[in-house]
């Protein structure tokens, strides 16, 4: 096995393991001819709502659309401000800017990488109307303080849960709720490399509010209440039947996928724990971790050298993310800067994500961790 190529994700091996189930589901769609809004789309939404223990899952074309659709239905006006994490994928800030809103980046916690409630407070102004939190790398944000701030200041909360499907937020009283189901609207991505990945693009919106669910659903369908009757300005954002059929199969295996990722993380934790200059992922006590990424911080300034060293040995790794939101050239003219963003800037210099997926072998992990140890001891 050690001769096999190490990849950041290995979707093909996973397909081969589930091939008979997947082939049958895909073939069924092909034979039905119902490629748009076939019955599998509704089935999938129902199964996912059960898994998340939420009332409404509204499938759409991708998570970027889901974020935009969410922001479209929060009664925001041009120039209203939306607090976003500064260290994250750019989709939330981009969607806000497209709608004429002003993203205000807030700094993140240096251990969890997630938005810091104190930084949210510093980012507020008279114009703040919403907070978009991102559950980064597989862990839930600390949602109770976020929801308290939102309630006190009458703000909507959108949870971008593209990366942490299956993670649970643990309230101080021990109650648990799935990430993405705590704020007013949650968003999901089924991009192939995510926890629940399609064979193409896919996304969904989550809400417990019936009226909001209806208007979000309408928005994905050109704002139509019925065919050719447009009640809202919407868009065209659908999940393909083929993708829904596949996701129905893969959803049955999601806990196995998550368990496999946790096993990889446990191996890394044990093998890398004694390396001085490496800060390993911090499991926050208020969240379970589904390890969408296994992201270390290289504390001696040699992140790029480590990445080059690994590459030489055939081991891929990735920097998520090399620029903070406030550093993105396209965003700069459209954001408002409020308070220090030093943690997120530092993280862009330190972080390195190691290969993690459902098909990794112990010999691959032994090889990767040995090469990392060699780098720090040579």
Ligand X SMILES: *Cc1c(COP(=O)(O)O)cnc(C)c1O
Exposed, middle or buried, 93 (CB in 10 Å: 0-12/13-18/19+)? buried
* Smallest distance, ligand X to C-beta of residue 109, A: 16
Q: Are 97 and 144 in contact (CB under 8 A)?
A: no
Can you tell me which of 40, 112, 116, 163 binds ligand X, judged by CB under 6 A?
A: 163
Part in contact with ligand X (CB under 6 A); list of ranges 83-91, 149-157, 209-217, 338-346:
83-91
CB of 36 to ligand X, least distance (A): 19
Question: Toward ligand X, which CB reaches closer, 202 or 375?
Answer: 202
Nearer to ligand X by Cβ, of 191 and 375: the residue is 191
Of the residues 105, 186, 203, 234, which one makes contact with ligand X according to CB under 6 A: 203
**Is residue 88 part of the contact set for ligand X (CB under 6 A)?**
yes
By the rule CB under 6 A, 288 interacts with ligand X: no
**With respect to ligand X, which residue has the nearer C-beta, 244 or 278?**
244
Are residues 296 and 351 in contact, defined by beta-carbon separation less than 8 angstroms? Answer: yes
Nearer to ligand X, 40 or 243 (CB): 243
- Three-state DSSP string of 280-335: CCCCCCCECECCCCEEEEECCCCHHHHHHHHHHCCCCCECCCCCCHHHCCCCHHHC
CB nearer to ligand X: pick between 207 and 364: 207
Q: Per the structure block, which two tokens stand in for 309?
A: 């060293």
* Contact with ligand X (CB under 6 A) among 162, 244, 247, 325: 162
Contacts with ligand X, residue ranges (CB under 6 A): 62-64, 88-89, 91, 134, 160, 162-163, 189, 191, 201, 203
């Amino acid at each position: 096995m050690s001769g096999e190529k190490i990849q950041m994700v290995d979707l093909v091996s996973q397909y081969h393991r589930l091939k008979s189930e997947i082939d049958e589901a895909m073939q069924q769609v092909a034979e039905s001819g119902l490629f748009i809004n076939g019955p599998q789309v509704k089935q999938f939404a129902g199964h996912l709502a059960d898994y998340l223990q939420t009332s409404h899952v509204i499938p759409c074309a991708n998570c970027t659309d889901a974020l935009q659709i969410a922001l479209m239905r929060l009664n925001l006006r041009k120039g209203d401000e939306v607090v976003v994490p500064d260290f994250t994928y750019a989709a939330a800030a981009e969607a806000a800017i497209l709608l004429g809103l002003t993203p205000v980046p807030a700094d993140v916690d240096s251990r969890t990488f997630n938005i810091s409630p104190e930084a949210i407070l510093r980012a507020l102004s008279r114009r703040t109307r919403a907070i978009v939190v991102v559950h980064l790398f597989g862990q839930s944000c600390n949602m109770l303080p976020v929801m308290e701030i939102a309630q006190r200041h009458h703000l909507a909360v959108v949870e971008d849960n593209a990366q942490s499907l299956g993670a649970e937020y643990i309230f101080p009283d021990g109650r648990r709720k799935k990430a993405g189901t705590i704020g007013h609207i949650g968003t999901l991505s089924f991009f192939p490399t995510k926890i629940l990945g399609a064979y193409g693009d896919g996304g969904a919106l989550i809400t417990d509010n019936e009226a909001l669910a209806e208007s979000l659903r309408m928005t994905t369908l050109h704002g139509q209440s019925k065919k050719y009757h447009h009640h809202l300005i919407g868009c065209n954002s659908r999940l393909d039947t083929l993708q829904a059929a596949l996701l129905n199969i893969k959803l049955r295996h999601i806990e196995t996928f998550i368990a496999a990722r946790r096993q990889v993380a446990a191996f890394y934790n044990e093998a890398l724990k004694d390396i001085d200059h490496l800060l390993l992922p911090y499991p926050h006590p208020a969240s379970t971790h589904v390890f969408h990424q296994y992201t270390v911080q290289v504390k001696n300034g040699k992140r790029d050298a480590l990445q080059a060293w690994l590459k030489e040995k055939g081991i891929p790794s990735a920097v998520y993310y090399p620029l903070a939101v406030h550093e993105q050239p396209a965003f700069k003219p459209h954001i408002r800067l409020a308070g220090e963003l030093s943690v997120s800037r530092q993280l862009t210099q330190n972080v390195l994500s190691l290969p993690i997926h459902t098909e990794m072998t112990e010999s691959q992990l032994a090889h990767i961790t040995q090469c990392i140890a060699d780098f720090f001891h040579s």
